[in-house]
Structure 1
């Protein structure tokens, strides 16, 4: 195979109806020397076998069976550790890549000063529409799939605050320098932390709109997912946000925490919110150690990298629209004041 060597990590957990299509698309990638590591995080045997059948004993495929669900963060770290390629890519098991996607991503990731580069993640059923064109990150730590359901008309790579882990590629040297994901995230926002760390150390994070990954996206909220999202949001704030910003944002962060707790109770996952606080307290030593690492690696002034944060919530992702619009007025006013004091 000609072209740069790209190692791809795909995780398989529980039911994976699109796993075979994902594997087939990765191995059919053009203009790259591709290697695929499939991490079996307790996948349904039938779906895993269908993926293996799709690969047809392709020697480029390696299957890892850790014997437990390592989570997205741990599984990606485990798979990437098996690779000796120029680039490392993470691809969701329900994504199907266009044949040139990895080559386009590798070309952009090879540019000086560029870190993670994500594909244009499209809705599988309507691939002209965006699923994520980069994940905005709010000043209170919330993040979501950016530009959902909008048509993509751009043709040149552009900067994004957070690269979606649904399909992201970076130089192996970047992955190793960052030491991969913090496995304590388990799932959700580990890609946000990695992206912000790159911005804080002078590496751009980008989306390549012509590198297309069709995502069989299903939005869901359940108690465990909300527990992880909220727990990880607080861990992100506690480790990545500078002390001065946390002090300046404290009134807003406390208000949001109260409102989110009320929402959690009303939505039936109040126990998960409490469980998140308990986890954070029990793991305070890890959080303190992680904060020391993340704060020490920063080379870009806080005012500069934090300018990438948004004060605006997307009603399509957060909703409802009237309340979101009112909240955004307050967020903008508060952020305009705080940014001058950073």
Structure 2
């Protein structure tokens, strides 16, 4: 008789903050999941748009934690993961509320994870192929990019879905749907809570790379994302302070020293751009945040550098040398900034 296939105890964690308009679609798709051993945990960050009332009348079996305040995407997901793994979860899947899942996406992610483990791969994080909800033949992301100066973005956003059938190794997963096994959580931890929101997925991925983990996009697992690029000043504040924290915390000393000229140059350009873009105050506030939290940042850096097992050169070639945001088209970036950044990237690669 064939032994029954073990189905991993999987917890789906959804953090909500005034996302009520998306939840009917999300919960409708979750109700059709074919995975035989999953649980749903919602962390509500004190929504005021009717989310609480929606959750209280939801017929789908859902565990809910109501937060007394908006603690941010990072801290809320950390709370959810801590609860789930303490309750016996083998895997957590962090899922955005503005998504719609396909019935077998969990089964396919699990099969991909188990396949990599059986091959002896030190597999870390996984994600499905994430398509645009309104244009379902177009990619939102099949793995995010990390620029060597800390910028991150949805790679190939807006491109046709690739026809590949093999799982793709990627440098960073997307926080819109992030598959994190218990072993990775125990070794690497969760999100850095002071990030609050934005760039937390690339930081979590980056910290895993430093310990020899490999991340993958499962080509057969699919979800849809109601994605809209935001240029809000609040987003610029978080993205910029988090980018600098990730760079400072994750690079070793030699790499940081080599990158100082490029980092200073890009900071000057961003400051000038912030004046034109209307987020100069937020950029300055970001510097203030870094100064106030310098003790925490130093502590995290010491921990990351103490635990790392591979050098920056092990994955340097996987970083992007150019800024290729699909949402921002600027001839200065294309014809001036990118050639300089690409040349500097090659120089550092020779010196590392």
Task: Give me the TM-score of the superposition, normalised by structure 1.
Answer: 0.95
1:282-293 → structure 2 map (5 Å cutoff): 282-293=292-303
Q: Does 1:56 align with 2:59?
A: yes
Distance 1:156 1:44 in 2: 43
Give CA-to-partner distance per residue, 1:99-135, whole Å, 9 cap, x none.
1111111222233211110111110011111001111
Which residue number in structure 2 is paired with residue 17 of structure 1?
A: 21
Give CA-to-partner distance per residue, 1:259-317, whole Å, 9 cap, x none.
00111111111110010001101110000000011111111122112222110111424
1:211-226 → structure 2 map (5 Å cutoff): 211-226=221-236
Contact 1:2 1:31 survives alignment (8 Å): no
Contact 1:2 1:32 survives alignment (8 Å): no
Distance 2:332 2:194 in 1: 36
1:226-265 → structure 2 map (5 Å cutoff): 226-265=236-275
Question: Which one of 209, 213, 216 corresponds to residue 199 of structure 1?
Answer: 209
Q: Does 1:121 align with 2:122?
A: no
Which residue number in structure 1 is paired with residue 158 of structure 2?
A: 149
- Three-state SS of the structure 2 residue aligned to 1:90 is strand
- Provide the aligned C-alpha RMSD in A: 1.7
Give CA-to-partner distance per residue, 1:70-114, whole Å, 9 cap, x none.
111101011112212111110000011101111111222233211
1:35-184 → structure 2 map (5 Å cutoff): 35-53=39-57, 55-56=58-59, 58=61, 61-83=62-84, 84-110=88-114, 111-112=116-117, 113-152=122-161, 153-184=163-194
Contact 2:95 2:177 survives alignment (8 Å): yes
Contact 1:88 1:175 survives alignment (8 Å): no
Contact 1:109 1:169 survives alignment (8 Å): no
Q: Which moved more, 1:319-328 or 1:250-259?
A: 319-328
Contact 1:315 1:324 survives alignment (8 Å): no
- Three-state SS of the structure 1 residue aligned to 2:17 is strand
- Three-state SS of the structure 2 residue aligned to 1:162 is coil
Question: Which one of 270, 275, 297 corresponds to residue 307 of structure 2?
Answer: 297
Give CA-to-partner distance per residue, 1:136-166, whole Å, 9 cap, x none.
1001100101111111122221011110010
Contact 1:20 1:51 survives alignment (8 Å): no
- Three-state SS of the structure 2 residue aligned to 1:126 is coil
Which residue number in structure 1 is paired with residue 197 of structure 2?
A: 187
Gaps of 5+ in 1: none
Give CA-to-partner distance per residue, 1:202-222, whole Å, 9 cap, x none.
111111122111001111111
Distance 1:254 1:289 in 2: 23
Give CA-to-partner distance per residue, 1:153-205, whole Å, 9 cap, x none.
22221011110010111212211222211101110111101101111111111
Contact 1:122 1:129 survives alignment (8 Å): yes
Q: Which moved more, 1:318-327 or 1:96-105?
A: 318-327
1:2, CA displacement in angstroms? 7.7
Task: Give me the TM-score of the superposition, normalised by structure 2.
Answer: 0.92
After the TM superposition, list the runs of 4 or more consecutive aligned residues in structure 1 that deviate by more than 6 angstroms: none
